[in-house]
Chain A
Amino acid sequence: SQQGEEDPQALSIQEGENATMNCSYKTSINNLQWYRQNSGRGLVHLILIRSNEREKHSGRLRVTLDTSKKSSSLLITASRAADTASYFCATDAASGGSNYKLTFGKGTLLTVNP
């Protein structure tokens, strides 16, 4: 399966600390994307990193990609209570023919305590 697997499943930290979430996948990808979901709501796109990129930044977010290890990490620096949410990685790969599709993992539930 192409499905990404996030690790850990749950993470609880104090406000101001950094949070690191990891994603591993099994086959070659075109790009990898990270999404965030607040409880019972839709997903919000955070960052897209292409297979030929190694690192990307967006505000307090830093994403790395290691295609040789088939893994990615999402780092949130100086966390805030508002960062409490589930975080998903999604791998983009060909699904057959010329079509591409995203396959999501089960997510990491991040709780940031005030």
Chain B
Amino acid sequence: ETGVTQTPRHLVMGMTNKKSLKCEQHLGHNAMYWYKQSAKKPLELMFVYNFKEQTENNSVPSRFSPECPNSSHLFLHLHTLQPEDSALYLCASSLQLLTSGSYEQYFGPGTRLTVT
């Protein structure tokens, strides 16, 4: 148990569906992240929020829409996804980003997404 929870743990959705992934951290961190993990590829950073402000969007398609209402919660809204978007989506949190570098990140268990 890392103090970061994600729901749902598994999600199957059609290409025309709209769904949301939720992440919650109980660690008092101010930075939150979404990553995508596909088979045989490195972990890909998607979005970063620091004190609720988006500080990184790693050229992610607009069919992925993040939302960070406060420092403890992070959502990833999904719509009109493609089969190649099937992957493990991981949320992480850390102490706030600094101009001098990053702290260690704490990951949730992930949401296994399958797009049919």
A and B: interacting chains:
yes
Binding site for B on A (CB under 8 A): 3, 30-31, 33, 35, 40-45, 48, 88, 92, 95, 98-107
Question: Are B43 and A104 touching (Cβ within 8 A)?
Answer: yes
- Near A by CB (< 8 A), chain B positions 54-101 give 55-56, 88, 90, 92, 97-101
Residues of B within 8 A of A33 (CB): 104-105
Tell me which of B41, B100, B102 has the highest count of chain A C-beta atoms within 10 A of its own C-beta: B102
Question: Are A30 and B90 touching (Cβ within 8 A)?
Answer: no
Residues of A within 8 A of B98 (CB): 100
**Chain A to chain B: the 4 pairs with minimum beta-carbon distance, closest first:** A42-B107, A30-B101, A104-B43, A45-B104
In the complex, which of the residues A3, A31, A42 contacts B42, with contact meaning CB atoms closer than 8 Å?
A: A3
In the complex, B115 has a CB within 8 A of chain A: no
Give chain A's interface secondary structure class.
strand
Rounded to whole angstroms, the CA-CA distance of A90 and B102 in the bound complex is 11
Binding site for A on B (CB under 8 A): 2, 4, 6, 40-43, 45, 48, 55-56, 88, 90, 92, 97-110, 112
Q: What distance in Å separates the Cβ of A72 from its nearest Cβ neighbour in chain B?
A: 15
Given contacts A40-B88, A41-B109, A42-B4, contact A106 B41 (CB under 8 A): yes
Residues of A within 8 A of B105 (CB): 33, 43, 45, 102
Given contacts A42-B2, A42-B107, A42-B108, contact A30 B43 (CB under 8 A): no
Residues of B within 8 A of A104 (CB): 42-43
Residues of B within 8 A of A102 (CB): 45, 102, 105
